[in-house]
């Protein structure tokens, strides 16, 4: 192992644990027929960015509220949830109730009181749906309720993949921030990022994914979120998260099987370099974030974490001096194995918005 760089020192800690979903995968790694040989075409456009590997905290408000579960409102009347009976599903995003825009769980509860026969607008994927639900009076507090649990914010920790010093924009996670129960991508209304220090590691093992635990350094906001997408989270930093030399972003056809390294932080705030192997490459993958299968080979990292753990999502992968990808998932039945997304895919997403 070797130190990658020093990062900015900021104080004031708030203890949290890592909660982001989307970092686990089950079963065996995909085995593509055969990855095309890398082609070293002389590309005219070579983007350079700073690879990070630094942990960062995310505080995100959702655009609408996400339905996470259902329950009975008044068991003496019915065991059913009025919302579930109306056809609403886990993962639906409630945007309006009784003509009132819903921005958070409190505004949802207030809108239900206007008329117990509720007209509800919700998003399911790309489709807007309208439901009619008969709210019931709660036997606990006398308010009308729809019998559903909702989420209007998310907080957690991930790893920053790269920073663009020319624009101030960053990319991280390598996958979307999603609801843990439904897997639905959380719709971003607004968000901020803060510095983080890693305080502990829960080691991963076969069948039990590990986890990084950390503390928000919440006294200073270091950036804002502008996009939560399948390829990761993107936004703008107020200052560079790390002092390091820029590297080129590799094109997809330059990535090859064999040795590579990742930058990741498993203690404190300073990323370190660890050896990995790119086992296979699937350039035609239908999954946007499972372009490569990787294996951790660094004995130091295997000893400390057991392999890939939750919170390492976004750790940059470098090969032949270029940024080739970012860690996205761990295989639950083999924590030394996981998936990664092409860095070029992440960068294409960032530049297309």
Q: Known catalytic residues?
A: 175, 298, 313
Nearest to 235 by CA among 177, 172, 175: 172
| Percent helix / strand / coil, the chain, rounded to 5 | 10, 50, 45
d(CA 179, CA 189): 15
d(CA 97, CA 94): 8
52 Rama sector, left if φ>0, alpha if ψ -120 to 50, beta otherwise: alpha
Say how many C-beta atoms besides its own lie within 10 A of residue 342's C-beta.
29
DSSP 112-172: HTT-SEEEEEEEETTEEEEEEEE-EE-TTTS-EE-SEEEEEEEEEEEEEEEE-TTT-EEEE
The DSSP letter of residue 335 is E
Contact 263, 52 (CB under 8 A): yes
**Torsions phi, psi of 160, nearest 5?**
-80, 135
């Amino acid at each position: 192992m070797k130190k990658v760089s020093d990062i900015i020192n900021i104080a004031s800690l708030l203890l949290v644990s890592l909660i982001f979903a989307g970092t686990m995968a089950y079963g065996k790694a995909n085995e593509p027929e055969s990855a095309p040989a890398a082609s070293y075409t002389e590309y005219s456009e070579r983007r350079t960015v700073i690879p990070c590997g630094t942990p960062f905290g995310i505080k995100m408000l959702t655009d609408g509220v996400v339905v996470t579960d259902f329950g009975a409102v008044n068991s003496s009347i019915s065991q059913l949830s009025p919302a579930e009976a109306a056809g609403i599903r886990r993962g639906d995003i409630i945007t309006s109730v009784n003509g009132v825009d819903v921005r958070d769980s409190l505004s949802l509860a207030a809108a239900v009181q206007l008329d117990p026969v509720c007209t509800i607008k919700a998003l399911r994927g790309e489709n807007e749906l309208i439901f009619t639900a008969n709210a019931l009076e709660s036997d606990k507090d006398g308010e009308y309720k729809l019998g559903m649990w909702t989420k209007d914010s998310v907080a957690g920790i991930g790893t920053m993949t790269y920073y663009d010093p020319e624009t101030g924009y960053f990319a991280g996670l390598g996958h979307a921030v999603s609801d843990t129960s439904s897997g639905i991508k959380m719709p971003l209304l607004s968000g901020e990022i803060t510095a983080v220090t890693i305080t502990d590691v829960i080691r991963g093992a076969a069948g039990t994914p590990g986890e990084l635990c950390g503390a928000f350094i919440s006294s200073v906001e270091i950036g804002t979120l502008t996009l939560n997408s399948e390829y990761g989270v993107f936004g703008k930093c107020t200052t560079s998260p790390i002092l390091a030399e820029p590297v080129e972003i590799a094109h997809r056809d330059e990535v090859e099987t064999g040795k590579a390294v990742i930058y990741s932080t498993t203690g404190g705030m300073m990323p370190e370099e660890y050896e990995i192997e790119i086992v296979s490459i699937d350039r035609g993958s239908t999954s946007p974030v499972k372009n490569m299968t990787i294996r951790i080979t660094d004995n130091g990292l295997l000893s400390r974490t057991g392999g890939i753990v939750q919170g390492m999502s976004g750790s940059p992968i470098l090969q032949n001096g270029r940024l080739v990808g970012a860690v996205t998932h761990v295989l639950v039945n083999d924590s030394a194995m996981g998936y990664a997304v092409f860095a070029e895919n992440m960068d294409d997403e960032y530049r297309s918005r």
